[in-house]
């Protein structure tokens, strides 16, 4: 890794020199050119924006100047020819589309006439309109603040003039016409202008590309125009929440209205930056290709030879002789480096020859150490369990960690020592989707030459290549096996079984591997012997408990056969509910002994034919406590107390002896309670006829959540449909 790091560092030095001497200066110059060109572009956009604003101001001044002249002409006509005023109103309004409505008002502000004529507005009092507050001198025109037109219902600005007789002419300016002044086609321009909007001297917005802002009567102070930084005489940068914008403003002389153009910098410089950046990247990439070519040449002629030599030195210094010396490709023109590499390779070959013998010795020692560790781990694992099936599985699992194989078997002799049967197996023919399964798991040992030989000699057997063994079957289930190893499992020098390994590779096993396998077989013999002893002891426990249970039934003849039935069915239901070993064994013991506490109940109460008195029931309800006192001192039954002690508890807490409720009741007792009641209901008893299964099912469903755990009842109903209903005669026996 260090040699590789040295190579990387050398390459980095070359790259660094090229970057700082060639690429970096080029990039800096490119950035400077981009910045200068960008500044010039921004300056051009700014001038274009100034021209656009000036043009809009000029058009606005011309429009308002013509409007004032039209109104003042109408004033003259109204004063000289008042009788013709309605016609003049209509003529002026039609010839000046900017006027949406022209009103002729009396001195009190009431409408005398208007164009277009609307009879509903005649005598309308407009004295409260904003334009009434701006009228001052006669024969002069004034512009009002924006207000809603009483005729159109739209926002308008009113141009108002007072006549010498105190009458008023008020012309509403259609702001839609003003809106046309701010409509700019940025797409058709070489340089965009941005948004143009108009506001009056009080900041009220009169025209804006976003018409809703005008309709909402937004003030310019509410727009995104804050912190104006003046760069030029009539333009500057405005900083708002949406970023920095290029802004130009100007006042219209005729109206004292402010015309403003605003263009976000990202829109102003965006196209330029995209085009310039692409061009810059392309040029820089081309320059990068040239520099890369130079870099590759330097690395090929200087860095790579030195890197190869450094890696080879690192391999040698780490004692890595498992592969040939790292190949050194040194150009002839770099003579000094080439001579150094040749001398190094000669030294490496000499050391490698001396290391071969040492590596072989270390490998043998390593294999012995692996075997010893595996045997120790196997012994610890086998000592942690005495379950017969689990012992067999662990033996095969640990063999596979030390001796590779495609399939493995544990075969045990029967008591007659003439037949054998396969107890455990792993793997099978390579490529097969399923594990190997023997067609006949029980065979005569005399028909299997390999087992017969190990049985008589007591020694491991290896067949490196089965194709060279004349007695090996060339077809059938074992035809795929190319190499075979086996070892006898012995107890006190008596062969009781065999461990068999098979491989699909010819020559895979040898005598050394067979000897390793024998070490596992010897350990397996001790483990199997212990497991058998435990199995026999377990069977003795079961027989003892069954004897106790039978004794209880003989005393209480009314429940004869009840225990065996309930034990079997409770165990089936528990398995469906996910109970596993060792809890399943504790549940079985507890079910067998569920009424052990009745030993402490007098015969006069236990065998009484009639109903029990309250005092007798009190005594009868003590039998769970008696069960606890009997079983608690027995260590191997202590885990089985839940059912004898708690099977009369009820889900709603009304049971006995402790009044446990819900999940306070042990799970095993909740399972047993359902099966115990079921058997009691459907079985024949001296004091009642058996219930029908439908009646018993209805009772259990009704008491779900009261007497019984709803989860257990739900699974019991499935159990009944799938299994129990087919055993009716068994339960009525």
Residue 540 lies in a domain: no
Q: What are 53-78's pLDDT values in tens digits?
A: 888 888 888 888 888 888 888 887 77
- Sequence-separated contacts (24+) of 475-482 with Cβ below 8 Å: 477/436, 477/438, 477/439, 478/502, 480/429, 480/430, 480/504, 482/506, 482/508
Domain check: are 565 and 477 in the same one? no
Q: Which of 39-53, 132-146, 537-551, 698-712 has the lowest mean pLDDT?
A: 537-551
Q: What are 245-300's pLDDT values in tens digits?
A: 778 878 887 777 888 877 777 766 666 667 777 876 777 677 677 667 766 666 66
**Band (656; pLDDT cuts 50, 70, 90):** very high
Of 489, 509, 528, at which residue does a domain stop?
A: 528
Q: What are 249-262's pLDDT values in tens digits?
A: 788 877 778 888 77
Residue 8 lies in a domain: yes
**Band (677; pLDDT cuts 50, 70, 90):** very high
Domain check: are 206 and 351 in the same one? no
Domain check: are 95 and 169 in the same one? yes
Bridge partners, residue 105, by sequence: 111, 168
CB count within 10 Å of CB 357 equals 9
Of 510, 528, 546, at which residue does a domain stop?
A: 528
Domain check: are 232 and 291 in the same one? yes
Residue 547 lies in a domain: no
Domain check: are 375 and 401 in the same one? no
The residue-averaged pLDDT of 401-429 equals: 82
Residue 538 lies in a domain: no
Contact between 260 and 240 (Cβ < 8 Å): no
Q: How many domains does the chain have?
A: 4
Residue 548 lies in a domain: no
Structure-token pair, residue 343: 């001398």
Residue 543 lies in a domain: no
Domain check: are 2 and 51 in the same one? yes
Residue 69 lies in a domain: yes
The span from the CA of 271 to the CA of 164, in Å, is 59
Domain check: are 9 and 74 in the same one? yes
Range of the domain at 50: 1-318
Contact between 149 and 23 (Cβ < 8 Å): no
Q: What are 508-549's pLDDT values in tens digits?
A: 888 888 888 888 788 777 777 776 766 666 666 666 666 665
CATH number, residue 165: 3.30.450.20
Domain check: are 603 and 498 in the same one? no
CATH number, residue 651: 1.10.3210.10
Helix 693-702 crosses helix 667-682 at what angle (to 10 degrees)?
A: 150
Domain check: are 340 and 425 in the same one? no
Domain check: are 141 and 251 in the same one? yes
What's the mean pLDDT when you consider all of the chain?
77
Of 283, 318, 353, at which residue does a domain stop?
A: 318
437 or 572, higher pLDDT: 572
Position 441 pLDDT exceeds 70: no
CATH number, residue 454: 3.30.450.40
Q: What is the CA radius of gyration of the chain?
A: 53
Position 307 pLDDT exceeds 70: no
What angle (nearest 5°) sits at the alpha carbon of residue 265, between those of residues 261 and 269? 115
Helix 2-18 crosses helix 265-298 at what angle (to 10 degrees)?
A: 120
Bridge-based pairing of strands 147-148 and 407-413 is unpaired
**Band (573; pLDDT cuts 50, 70, 90):** very high
**Band (604; pLDDT cuts 50, 70, 90):** confident
Domain check: are 575 and 708 in the same one? yes
**Band (436; pLDDT cuts 50, 70, 90):** very low
206 or 561, higher pLDDT: 206
Domain check: are 163 and 270 in the same one? yes
Residue 480 lies in a domain: yes
342 or 222, higher pLDDT: 222
Return the residue matching tokens 């009092």.
125
């Amino acid at each position: 890794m260090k040699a590789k790091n040295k190579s990387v560092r050398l390459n980095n030095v070359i790259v660094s020199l090229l970057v700082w001497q060639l690429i970096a200066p080029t990039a800096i110059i490119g950035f400077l050119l981009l910045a200068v060109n960008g500044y010039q572009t921004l300056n051009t956009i700014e001038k274009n924006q100034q021209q656009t604003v000036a043009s809009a101001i000029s058009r606005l001044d011309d429009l308002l100047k013509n409007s004032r002249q039209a109104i003042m002409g109408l004033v003259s006509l109204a004063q000289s020819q008042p009788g013709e005023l309605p016609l003049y109103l209509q003529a002026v309004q039609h010839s000046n589309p900017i006027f949406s409505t022209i009103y002729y008002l009396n001195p009190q502000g009431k409408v005398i006439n208007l164009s277009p004529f609307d009879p509903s507005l005649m005598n309308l009092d407009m004295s409260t309109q904003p334009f009434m507050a701006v009228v001052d001198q006669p024969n002069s025109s004034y512009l009002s603040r924006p207000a809603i037109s009483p005729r159109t219902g739209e926002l308008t600005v009113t141009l108002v003039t007072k006549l010498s007789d105190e009458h008023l002419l008020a012309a509403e300016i259609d702001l839609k016409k003003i809106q046309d002044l701010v409509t700019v086609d940025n797409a058709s321009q070489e340089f965009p202008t941005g948004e143009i909007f108009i506001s009056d001297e009080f900041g009220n917005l009169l025209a804006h590309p976003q018409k809703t802002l005008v309709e909402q009567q937004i003030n310019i102070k509410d727009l995104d125009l804050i912190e104006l930084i003046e760069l030029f005489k009539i333009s500057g940068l405005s900083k708002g929440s949406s970023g920095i914008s290029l802004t130009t403003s100007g006042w219209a002389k005729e109206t004292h209205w402010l015309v403003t153009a605003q263009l976000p910098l990202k829109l102003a410089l965006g196209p330029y930056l995209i085009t310039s950046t692409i061009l810059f990247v392309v040029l820089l990439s081309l320059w990068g290709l040239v520099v890369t070519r130079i870099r590759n040449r330097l690395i090929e002629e200087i860095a790579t030879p030195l890197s190869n030599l450094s890696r080879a030195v690192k391999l040698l210094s780490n004692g890595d002789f498992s592969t040939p010396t790292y190949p050194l490709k040194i150009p002839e023109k770099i003579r000094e480096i080439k001579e150094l590499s040749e001398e190094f390779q000669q030294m490496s070959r000499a050391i490698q020859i001396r290391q071969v013998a040492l590596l072989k010795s270390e490998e043998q020692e390593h294999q012995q150490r692996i075997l010893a560790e595996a045997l120790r781990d196997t012994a610890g694992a086998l000592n942690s369990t005495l379950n017969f099936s689990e012992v067999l599985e662990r033996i095969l699992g640990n063999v596979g960690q030390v001796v590779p194989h495609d399939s493995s078997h544990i075969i045990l002799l029967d008591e007659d020592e003439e037949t054998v049967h396969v107890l455990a197996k792993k793997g099978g023919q390579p490529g097969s989707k399923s594990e190997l399964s023997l067609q006949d798991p029980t065979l005569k040992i005399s028909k299997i030459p390999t087992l017969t030989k190990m049985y008589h000699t007591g020694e491991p057997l290896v067949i490196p290549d089965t194709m060279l063994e004349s007695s090996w079957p060339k077809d059938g289930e074992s035809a795929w096996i190319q190499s075979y190893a086996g070892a006898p499992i012995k107890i006190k020098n008596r062969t009781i079984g065999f461990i068999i390994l098979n491989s699909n590779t010819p020559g895979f096993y040898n005598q050394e591997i067979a000897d390793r396998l024998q070490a596992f077989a010897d350990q397996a013999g001790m483990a199997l012997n212990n497991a058998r002893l435990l199995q026999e002891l377990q069977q003795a426990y079961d027989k003892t408990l069954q004897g106790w249970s039978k004794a209880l039934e003989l005393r209480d003849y009314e429940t004869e056969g009840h225990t065996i039935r309930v034990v079997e069915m409770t165990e089936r239901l528990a398995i469906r509910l996910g109970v596993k070993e060792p809890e399943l064994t504790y549940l079985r013991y507890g079910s067998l002994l569920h009424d052990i506490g009745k030993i402490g109940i007098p015969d006069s109460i236990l065998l009484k034919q009639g109903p029990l008195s309250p005092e007798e029931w009190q005594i009868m309800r003590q039998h769970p406590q008696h069960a606890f006192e009997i079983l608690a001192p027995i260590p191997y039954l202590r885990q089985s107390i839940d059912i004898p002690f708690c099977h009369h508890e009820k889900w709603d807490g009304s049971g006995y002896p402790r009044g446990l409720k819900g999940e306070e009741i042990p799970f095993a007792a909740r399972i047993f309670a359902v099966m115990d009641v079921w058997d009691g209901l459907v079985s024949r008893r001296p004091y009642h006829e058996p219930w029908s299964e439908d009646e018993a099912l209805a009772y259990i469903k009704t008491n779900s959540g009261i007497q019984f755990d709803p989860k257990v009842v739900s699974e019991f109903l499935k159990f009944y449909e799938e299994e129990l209903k087919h055993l009716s005669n068994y339960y009525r026996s």
